[in-house]
Amino acid sequence: MFRYTKLTLLREVGLWALALVFLAPFYFLVTTALKPDSELFTTSALAPPTNPDFSNFIDVLTATGNSNVVMGLVNSAIITAGSIVGLIALGSITGYVITRSTRRWSKGAYYLFLIAIILPGQLGAVPLYMGARALGLTGSAWGLIILYTGMLLPLSIFLYANFFRGLGTDYEEAATIDGASKSQIFSKVVFPMMAPATGTVTIFAGLIVWNDFFTSLIFLGGSANQTLPVAMYYYIGSLVSQWNSIFAIVIVSMIPILALFLFAQKRFIQGFSGGLKG
């Protein structure tokens, strides 16, 4: 019935045409970043560079101070990895307990987390900043890891809770009968089984933390430990309409995440389409 017909071919060609228009911004991004300063205002914005060179990228990677991109990459990687670890550890155990518990408060706790997902962050931003400063958490990678873990924990718990809800208790019951303790059941039986949920949490948390600008701008303000988006923001702030240099740093900032996406795109898309159901 649904065979490949001429109409399907037409549909496929049409979709490719649409994709080319849709991805045109990437064309401008790459061609402009490769233009030397001399060509920036003399060639058409639509044309590729006649003498492409990588000098803009070299400038970006050797920038120092506030806009030290290499430092930004390292800091972003540390903060993202730390937050993911925190979110997996706390999210899995909390999601597990509130799903498996038959106590009345566990349902209340579930809604506590659900509402926290949609609260807008701005209302709490100033009190949070003052609290973090009083505890000495501003300006350090550790502080930001704790903050991100707390901020994204409701989402992580929600994803884990939905996963555990769909997971039967057969294995846990069998392990109990075999004499495993509650902590053994969690670490040896449940933890290995929850890999799909862990994958989804890693993707969501990784994307959000890696791409986040506002939180790191405020909580790392003025320190030398900038994250990549903040370094990019400062670097671009020093340029006026130097689109070739701006786009060089934009490309540098998006290469890690795009590479990861293209490498694990199936997992990414599954995480997005499957993880949010329920």
Partner 1 sequence: MTATMQPKSEAAEAPRRGKRTPGAGENTRPRRGPMQFGHWWWALPGIALVFAIHYVATGIGGFFAFTNWTGIGSFKITGWTNFEAIFKDPTKLGALSNTLFLAFGSVLLGNIAGLVIALGLNRVVKTRYILRTLFFMPVVLSPLATAYIWKYIFDFDGPLNAFLTAIGAGDQAKPWLADPQWAIWTVLVVLVWSSTGFAMVIFMAGLAGVPVEVEEAAAIDGANLWQRFRNVTLPAIRPAVAIATTLGIVQGLRVFDPIMALTGGGPAGATETLATLVYKQAFALGNFGGGAALALVLAAIILIFAVLQQRLTRSNPED
Q: How far apart are CA 113 and CA 105, in angstroms?
A: 12
C-alpha Rg value of the chain to the nearest Å: 24
Give 51 or 120: the residue with its C-beta nearer to partner 1: 120
- Minimum CB separation of residue 186 from partner 1 in Å reads 6
- Minimum CB separation of residue 217 from partner 1 in Å reads 10
Give 104 or 222: the residue with its C-beta nearer to partner 1: 104
- Minimum CB separation of residue 15 from partner 1 in Å reads 5
Give 41 or 54: the residue with its C-beta nearer to partner 1: 41
Give 141 or 186: the residue with its C-beta nearer to partner 1: 186
Q: How far apart are CA 46 and CA 88, in angstroms?
A: 45
- Minimum CB separation of residue 195 from partner 1 in Å reads 19
Give the DSSP letter string of 42-80.
TS-TTSPPSS---HHHHHHHT--GGG-HHHHHHHHHHHH
Tell me if 87 sits within 8 A of 159, measured CB to CB.
no
Which residues, other chains included, contact 90 with Cβ-Cβ below 8 Å and sequence gap of 6+? 149, 153, 156, 157
- Minimum CB separation of residue 62 from partner 1 in Å reads 20
Q: How far apart are CA 226 and CA 140, in angstroms?
A: 9
Nearest in space to 67 (alpha carbons), one of 219, 233, 220: 233
Give 77 or 236: the residue with its C-beta nearer to partner 1: 236
